[in-house]
Amino acid sequence: MSNDALLARLRDELGKDAVLTDADVTASYSRDMMPLAPAGSPLAVVLPADVAGVQATVRACAEAGVPIVPRGAGSGLSGAANAIDGCVVLALTKLNQIVEVDPANRLAVVQPGVVNLDLRDAVEKHGLFYPPDPSSYDWCTIGGNLSTNAGGLCCVKYGVTTDSVLGLEVVLADGSLLRTGRRTVKGVAGYDLARLFIGSEGTLGVITQATVALRPLPQAPATLVAGFPSTEAAGEAVARVVREGLVPSLMEIMDATSIKASEAYLKTDIGAGSGCQALLLCQSDSGGEVARRELAVLEQICLDCGSDMTYATDDLAEGNMLLQARRVVLTALELYGTWLTDDVCVPRTRIAELIAGCHRISEEVGLRIAVVGHAGDGNMHPTIVYDPTSPEESARAHRAFDDILEVGMTLGGTVTGEHGIGKIKQDWLEREIGPVGMRVHRQIKAALDPDNLFNPGSMFAPG
């Protein structure tokens, strides 16, 4: 089947408005938020309005031998949704229905184009809570969260996306619809296929529906901020929190570079002081006196570990204001140039060493590197600031990106905690999981996508 015949068939089956071929329009769908990842020029962008449209697209592309790159909102940070030359970008944003909210069983059934924040708002009306909260939660979609197994600030207590998924519907390479999982709390019938597709970056199938578990809406959080004269002291506080069995609903860390950037952007002093080298932000959503007791223990740990500034509040507005300093870091860094954020996860006892390694790399490459991250689970986001119009600075930024991953691996970590492998870390995946792990990955890929048409080139190359 020729490309013209494929486009004609897609227009006939989905409607002409669902098939976009204008070069300027398709270019806008060709890449996500990762500047280092390569992107090609798609043949077309297809926007099906229902599952039947997804199946029709997959079948037509299979017959034509044309690759498919599934895409959500494009908020990813690994290039996993980037087009390759001649592909069909399958944009799922029109599948945006919250099909069902079942308060009695604490679950929801949603399509992949539902925005994370919209789901959270919808279930909150029932006194319920959808925990995964990526930083882009106000515009990223559930499908993208599923495909990358996204996390967020609340991972320390509530886990990542896969911890909230009960079941999926997935369109397979032949266009058939696979239903995985169940609606019950427990169930061990057969392989856990839902978890196989979560985090697969669209390389195994196209997710068209998810059944997700909900939790009772937490109490309004109480917030603690603690400043430290060294990253080592902040790292020891994190390790102490973990050793003593405390599970705050949020525990974030900011280094001196990120603190200064946030203060400049917000035009305020967040109370860290000029000598502050690291800031911990903690929250407890246990409510009332329980939350106050948890924060008191957290505060004492911080003081014991050398904190020279602590402040606790159970005022929601004040807590949100303090947390805003963490949430605006990436935006704040744009004051200095274009940012390139890394994603590395290390054992929680090695956080200070990772930050120190990032500071060393910053000096070596001569670029600003700010480190923020989810201290509660060791997932750090060192962010490199550079001038993308300078080939020399871009090369140094790329070097720093890889050097940070090297440090993370040396500390016993992983090259991605929540952003995924995408099109920028294939070599690092092979280093991390080894030849046997790669062989198993390729065997699974070959079994489910024998013609290698689902997002080829993402995660790993075929063997």
Residue 171 is part of a domain; what is its CATH number? Answer: 3.30.465.10
* 272 has pLDDT over 80: no
**What's CA 14's distance to the chain center, in Å?**
31
**Domain's final residue, options 179, 194, 216:** 216
Sheet holding 177-181, edge to edge: 98-102, 107-110, 206-213, 165-171, 177-181
Cβ contacts of 215 within 8 Å, gap of 6 or more = 106, 128, 129, 130, 131, 158
Q: What is the pLDDT of residues 397-431, one digit of tens each?
A: 999 999 999 999 999 999 999 999 999 999 999 99
Closest CA to 216 of 99, 377, 376, 107: 107
The reported pLDDT for the residue numbered 410 is 97
Domain identity same for 253 and 359: yes
> Quick one: average pLDDT of 387-392?
95
420 falls within a domain: no
Separation CA 300–CA 298 (nearest Å): 5
Domain identity same for 371 and 236: yes
Which pair of tokens denotes residue 198?
């979560």
* 352 has pLDDT over 70: yes
Q: What is the pLDDT of residues 232-252, one digit of tens each?
A: 999 999 999 999 999 999 999
Helices marked H in 151-222: 155-158, 193-197
Confidence of residue 186 (pLDDT cuts 50, 70, 90): confident
> Quick one: average pLDDT of 391-402?
96
Separation CA 335–CA 357 (nearest Å): 24
The reported pLDDT for the residue numbered 154 is 79
Give the range of the structural domain holding residue 20, as residue numbers without chain letter. 3-91
Domain identity same for 138 and 43: no
Percent above pLDDT 70 for the chain: 99
315 falls within a domain: yes
**Domain's final residue, options 183, 200, 216:** 216
Which pair of tokens denotes residue 64?
């034509």
DSSP secondary structure letters along 20-38: E--HHHHHHTS--S-TTS-
Confidence of residue 271 (pLDDT cuts 50, 70, 90): low
Domain identity same for 249 and 206: no
Domain identity same for 121 and 226: no
Q: How many domains does the chain have?
A: 4
Confidence of residue 134 (pLDDT cuts 50, 70, 90): confident
In the numeric block, the tokens 């609903």 are attached to: 249
Better-predicted residue by pLDDT, 314 or 98: 98
Cβ contacts of 66 within 8 Å, gap of 6 or more = 3, 6, 43, 86, 87, 88, 453
**Domain's final residue, options 216, 240, 256:** 216
Domain identity same for 226 and 339: yes
- What separation in angstroms does the CA of 231 have from each of 222, 236, 261, 286? 24, 9, 17, 28
Domain identity same for 204 and 334: no
Confidence of residue 187 (pLDDT cuts 50, 70, 90): confident
The reported pLDDT for the residue numbered 135 is 82
* 384 has pLDDT over 80: yes
The reported pLDDT for the residue numbered 288 is 86
What's the CA dihedral at 128, 131, 132, 134 to 10 degrees? 90
* 12 has pLDDT over 90: yes
Confidence of residue 273 (pLDDT cuts 50, 70, 90): low
Q: What is the pTM of this model?
A: 0.92
Separation CA 157–CA 362 (nearest Å): 32
Q: Whats the size of the chain, residue-wise?
A: 463
Cβ contacts of 102 within 8 Å, gap of 6 or more = 108, 109, 183
Closest CA to 68 of 60, 216, 109: 60
DSSP secondary structure letters along 278-340: EEEEEEE-S-HHHHHHHHHHHHHHHHHTT-SEEEEE--HHHHHHHHHHHHTHHHHHTTTSEEE
The reported pLDDT for the residue numbered 152 is 81
Domain identity same for 180 and 234: no
- Looking at every residue in the chain, the average pLDDT score rounds to 94
Q: What is the pLDDT of residues 318-339, one digit of tens each?
A: 998 888 999 899 999 999 999 9
Domain identity same for 371 and 431: no
Cβ contacts of 192 within 8 Å, gap of 6 or more = 181
Q: What is the pLDDT of residues 35-55, one digit of tens each?
A: 888 999 999 999 999 999 999
Confidence of residue 361 (pLDDT cuts 50, 70, 90): very high
Separation CA 153–CA 373 (nearest Å): 8
Max Cα separation, the chain? 70
- What separation in angstroms does the CA of 213 have from each of 112, 261, 316? 15, 37, 26
Percent above pLDDT 90 for the chain: 85
Residue 291, domain CATH: 3.40.462.10
The reported pLDDT for the residue numbered 462 is 75
Domain identity same for 59 and 112: no
* 262 has pLDDT over 90: yes
Burial category of 436 from C-beta neighbours within 10 Å (exposed 0-12, middle 13-18, buried 19 and up)? exposed
34 falls within a domain: yes
Phi/psi of residue 312, each to 5°?
-125, 145
* 359 has pLDDT over 80: yes
Most confident option among 154-158, 216-220, 369-373: 369-373
In the numeric block, the tokens 């919209």 are attached to: 118
